[in-house]
Every structure is written in C-alpha cells, then in structure tokens.
Amino acid sequence: MSTNGGTKMNTKTICSTLMVLTLVAMTATCIPPVNSVEFNAQDETLSFLKDVVKLDISKYNISLISDQNPVNVINSENQEEIRYLLKNTDNTIDTTCLFNNGALVWCTMYVHNGSPFYTEVPSSSVIEYAEAILGRYYTLTGLSRFQAMKELLSKVTITEDVATYRSDSAKLLVFSDGNTQQFSWTNISSGIDGPIFSLEFVNGTLETFNDQQSLFSIGKFTVNISQANAINLAMEEAKHFSWKVGSDLATAQEVTQFTVLNDPVQSQLSLQPRDNSTLYPYWRIDLYLDKVYAGGVSSIAVGIWADTGTIDYIKALSYGGIPNTGVDSQQTGTPINNILLLLIVCAIILSSAVAFVLKRKKKIVSPFFFLY
C-alpha cells in the first residue's frame, strides 16, 4: 500500500510540477523582453533634448502642441512628427522632431528670447559643441558613423565663410556666416555624394539636426554607365521622342521633327531612390535643341540609372524647366515627382518654424540632396 501511495503521490507531484512549469513557460512567452520597449516618439523627443542637447527640461513647462503622422512620402509606414513648446519666465523653445521607423530624421529648436537652460553648458567653441553632440548621439544610438564624423570634424578651423574637408570616403562642408555655423557631412563613392547629416548652430545654440542618412539605404555606388555612355544613350532615346502641345489631346499638335545639338550637353550624377528608400546612382542628361519649338520647348531631359543603363524617363523642358500645361510627353519614371514629394515633407517639417526663418537672412544648405 505504501508503495502504491508513494507512487500516486510522486505522480501527483510530478503532474503538478509540470503544470506549474507549463504555466510559467506560457506566461514568459507573453511577457516582452526587457530590451523590447515600444517606441514612443514623444518620449524620444524629450530624451533627445535632455540627453543629446543637454537641455534642463526640468526648468520648463512642457506643452505638447502636436503629435501627427505627416504625409507619407518617404515610402515608410511609420512616420511621426512631434512638436513641443518649452516655456519658462526667461525663454521659450519651439521644437519639432520627425521620426521615420523610429529613427530621428529632423529636429528644429527655435529659441525665443534669452538663452536656454542646460544641465551641461555648451562649449563656447561651436566645433567642440558639435563634437559633443556627435559623441552623445553616438552613445544614444551606437551608430559608428557618428564617430567617423567626429574624426573629420577634428580637422576643422572656422576661418573662412565656406570650407570643405575630405577623408577617403566622406566630405564635410562647413558654412559660417556671422552668428550662424553649419556642418554637413556626406559619404562619397565613385564621385557621388550620398545623403547628408548636418548640424546648424545659431548664436552658439543648436538649431537644426538633420539626418537624411537615417532615411535611406545605399543599394550600390557602382557606376557602370560612364558619362559618355549616358550621353550617347540619351541621344539615341531622343531620336524616338516626341511631345504634344495643346490641352485637348484629340487636337493637340505632336512635335516629331527637331534638332538636338551635340554641344552643349549638361550631365549630373546623383543618387536617387529606387525600390522604396534604396538609393542607386543616376544620370540626368539635358540635351539642348537648336531653337525654341512648339510649347516653348528648348531642351530635353533624360534620366538614366547609372548602374544598369535603363532609361528612367524622357521629358520635354520649356525654357530650362518643365512646361506647366499644354505639353504632353513620354515619361516612364518619377524622379521629378520624388523631389516634389520630398519638398512637401520639408514644408511639413518646417511649418512651425517659417516665421523665425524669415526673420533671419542667411544662406541655408538644402535639407535634401536630390536634384530632380
């Protein structure tokens, strides 16, 4: 009896233990790991101000002005724009930050009156301040590219209005105009400038943080189509090109006879998005005509992928630009639409800052590097 009882007891114990272990295992699978904290754009904005800019946010009354999903034009399903107003009796800071898939793309900080309160007072040297920003952001993100930027920045001495510093794979443009200093980094390969990262300081205060490099990935820098080959491809494409003039397609005049000049020819190599947010080398070739034709057309633009030689688009240009109405021409790609959409992003991001920008007359490096 005792043996059977012991056996029953052991069986019950084992079963109970297995049930407990099963429940623990099931519960564990429902609990997210400690490091998988859900992204919160509002918290990330304040963290950036506190940990990178070193603002003493405890000295401000903080009001959330907006938390919105801007127009989705960067091929991302997760974009969020946060705007805060930080106020105290001495000054007010209006800040707007844009996040794309959890990465900070852009942050502007406009100071009304006086100077901000810091937990760590910035260096009076804007170069040292920029180095500190890069170091803190590297600590926050762990991205090694910020260390490389610091190394290039160490070569800078602000003695000219505009200066360029280079390493084997990167370029740093420094712009200085009175109380404004701007540092813009870009990766270089095959003679092509990649997306930029820039910092702008006004009166020794960080005003703009711009990280295009977090928006895009590089498909390849390899240029398989030379400038000469790209021009030849454009010339051949132009032989089969035509455009129509007139708002009514049924009665529109089609222009098929025109003369393309061999010289001058304008060419520009850049990176453009293909396959969502992946960048590839791209030729834009402008061919000039011998005279002005119907629709005011004086030149033809051809877009060519420099890695494959594929014609992306061909378009009639009117007096150096694209005709607004009355001209219908062949177009297979959308590089022009891409830049228009990106300009919409710029408008959204800068909407809270327009009044302050207009108050200052200064040169600004374009926040986006696209040319077309």
Is residue 243 very low, low, confident or very high in pLDDT (cuts 50, 70, 90)?
Answer: very high
CB atoms closer than 10 angstroms to residue 33: 7
Q: Nearest CA to 128 among 160, 156, 108? A: 156
The helix (H) or strand (E) run that includes residue 254 is strand 253-255
CB 158 within 8 A of CB 181: yes
Cα 362 from Cα 310, distance rounded (Å): 40
Is residue 318 very low, low, confident or very high in pLDDT (cuts 50, 70, 90)?
Answer: confident
Q: pLDDT tens for residues 69-83?
A: 886 555 556 889 999
Domain residue limits, the chain: 41-215+341-359, 227-333
Q: Which residues are CB-neighbours of 352 under 8 A, at least 6 positions away?
A: 65, 83, 94, 96, 108, 110
Cα atoms in the Cβ-side hemisphere of radius 13 Å centred on 95: 30
Q: pLDDT tens for residues 129-178?
A: 999 999 999 998 888 888 889 889 988 887 678 999 988 878 999 999 98
Cα atoms in the Cβ-side hemisphere of radius 13 Å centred on 139: 11
Q: What angle do CA 152, 181, 212 make, to 5 degrees?
A: 60
CB 351 within 8 A of CB 98: no
Q: pLDDT tens for residues 248-292?
A: 877 889 999 999 999 999 999 988 888 777 889 999 999 999 999
Cα 2 from Cα 19, distance rounded (Å): 25
Q: What confidence score (pLDDT) does residue 301 get?
A: 97
Q: What confidence score (pLDDT) does residue 363 get?
A: 34
Q: What angle do CA 143, 147, 148 make, to 5 degrees?
A: 110
| Average pLDDT across the chain, whole number | 78
Cα 187 from Cα 167, distance rounded (Å): 9
Cα 331 from Cα 145, distance rounded (Å): 38
Mean pLDDT in residue range 238-242:
96
Sheet strands (E) in 5-53: none
Q: What confidence score (pLDDT) does residue 73 get?
A: 53
Is residue 122 very low, low, confident or very high in pLDDT (cuts 50, 70, 90)?
Answer: very high
Q: Nearest CA to 86 among 77, 95, 73? A: 95
Q: What confidence score (pLDDT) does residue 333 get?
A: 41
Q: Which residues are CB-neighbours of 307 under 8 A, at least 6 positions away?
A: 219, 220, 222, 223, 224, 225, 280, 281
- Give the position of tokens 């006879």: 257
End-to-end Cα, the chain, rounded Å: 91
Q: pLDDT tens for residues 214-226?
A: 888 778 778 999 9
